[in-house]
Amino acid sequence: MTPAGAGTARENGAGKTAPATDGPILRIDDLVVELPGPHGTRTRVVDGVSFDVPRATTVGLIGESGSGKTMTAHAVLGLPPEGATLSGRLLWHGEDLLAADPARRRAVRGREIAMIFQDPLAALNPTQRIARQIGEVPRRDRLPRAEVNRRVVELLDRVGVPEPERRMRAYPHELSGGLRQRAMIAMALAGSPALLLADEPTTALDVTVQSRILRLLADIQAADGLAMLLVSHDLRVVSHVGERVVVMYAGRVCERGPARDVLRRPAHPYTAALVRSVPAVRTRTALADPLPGAPATPANRPAGCAFHPRCPMARARCRAEVPEVREVAPGRWSACHFAEEVPGS
């Protein structure tokens, strides 16, 4: 894993508007995703989200279900749900992908930006051998068959699948959950992408397998100098591999900054509540504090700060005024009117 110090240094460097040449690999700028709702209404599931994914850095994207985190990742990939409308900018090496034509977006998918999906059993085609699925991008790029096979073996070996020559001939249902997710990762790596989008990559796996898959992702990210956007509802997952975190709630960004700082001294009451809700196994502090109330959904987002009905610090201003995301300390951004008053955990 990359040392935390390096991550912080990079974070501080990117915090000051860097020149375009060594700017972030991906800059999400005021992304809005609207889905068709009932009776012709539109629901904003992502509401003005902005953050950067720097080169060779893992960014953790945290939120409860309905926070818009997965929708954000799918928008980056260019595969939003049917009927969705997108606005804002997705700057990929400075090129706005939202303005790009479909052919260009397709060319980016799989080869520049690749995705690892949540449930590998569902995300792998049940009727094709994994070699065929992993080798699909190189095959479509007209690599000779022997070359494709060699690459598949190499990729499977890379992601820690034992006996790759034999396992490549397996169908997805013949593999264990962990091996399936490794095959999925190999598939994502097949097109040599510069950015990996990992959508809850360990949620569908056994607990014992989860940490090994996370370690694998972190190793590959560090070795290849990949950028990675790790989407998870699980704070522990993100705290293990993320150098930076972005916390989302009801379609908006609450807080972003270096992972360690954000998790140690949250600058948003929602982050603080999330941190408190994680049970600390090792210290046996019995019960964690669960978050009070139900998460707000984008369909009926409260006025003002979306978190105010569940916030212990809520005041009149929170009910009326949507907080801006502002820099509350060097490299630390928060969307709380009273960020400076959030008790450190």
Partner 1 sequence: MIRMIVHRLLIGVFVMWGAASLIFLVVRAAPGDPATVLLGPDATRSQLDQLHASLGLDRPLGAQYLSYLGDVCRLDFGESHWLGRPAMGAVLDRLPATIDLTVTATVIAVIVGLTLGMLAGARPGGLLDRVVSACTIALQSFPTFWIGIMLVLVFALTLRLLPSSGVGSPQHLVLPAVTLSFPFVAIIARLTRTSLAETMRESYIQTARSKGLTERQVLFGHALRNSLIPVVTVVGVQVGALVGGAVIVENVFAWPGLGSLVVEAVANRDYTVVQGATLLIAGIVVVLNLMADLLVAQLDPRIRTGAV
Footprint of partner 1 on this chain (CB under 8 A)? 77, 79, 106-111, 114-115, 117, 119, 122-128, 136-137, 140, 171, 173-174, 187, 191
Least separation in angstroms between CB 300 and partner 1? 26
Q: Taking the complex as a whole, how short is the minimal distance between the CB of residue 138 and partner 1, in angstroms?
A: 10
Alpha-carbon distance of 154 to 307, in angstroms, equals 47
In terms of DSSP H, where are the helices of the chain?
4-15, 69-77, 102-108, 120-123, 130-134, 136-140, 145-158, 164-167, 177-189, 207-224, 235-241, 259-264, 269-277, 316-320
Chain Cα centroid distance, residue 103: 24
d(CA 157, CA 169): 14
Considering the complex, state which of residue 188 and residue 238 has its C-beta at the smaller distance from partner 1. 188
Shortest distance in whole angstroms from residue 42 CB to partner 1: 19
- For the sheet with 95-96, list strands across it: 42-53, 26-36, 85-92, 95-96
* CB nearer to partner 1: pick between 77 and 84: 77
Taking the complex as a whole, the smallest distance from the CB of residue 315 to partner 1 amounts, in Å, to: 43
Q: Please identify, using beta-carbon distances, which residue of 115 and 220 lies nearer to partner 1.
A: 115
Using the minimum distance from each CB to partner 1, give the nearer residue, 120 or 257. 120
Smaller CB distance to partner 1: residue 35 or 259?
35
Smallest gap from Cβ 93 to partner 1, in A, equals: 17
Smallest separation (angstroms) from partner 1 to the CB of 71: 13
Nearest distance, CB of residue 126 and partner 1, angstroms: 6
With respect to partner 1, which residue has the nearer C-beta, 88 or 172? 172
> Could you tell me the maximum CA-CA distance found in the chain, to the nearest angstrom?
67
> Which residues, other chains included, contact 5 with Cβ-Cβ below 8 Å and sequence gap of 6+?
none
Q: Could you tell me whether strands 227-232 and 244-249 are parallel, antiparallel, or unpaired per DSSP bridges?
A: unpaired
Nearest to partner 1 of 124, 335 (CB atom): 124
Shortest Å distance, C-beta 196 to partner 1 = 11
Return the residue matching tokens 């494709």: 148
Please spell the DSSP secondary structure of 157-215, one letter per residue.
HHTT-SSHHHHTT--GGGS-HHHHHHHHHHHHHTT--SEEEEESTTTTS-HHHHHHHHH
* 1 contacts 260 by C-beta, under 8 angstroms: no
Based on CB atoms, which residue is closest to partner 1, 231 or 259? 231
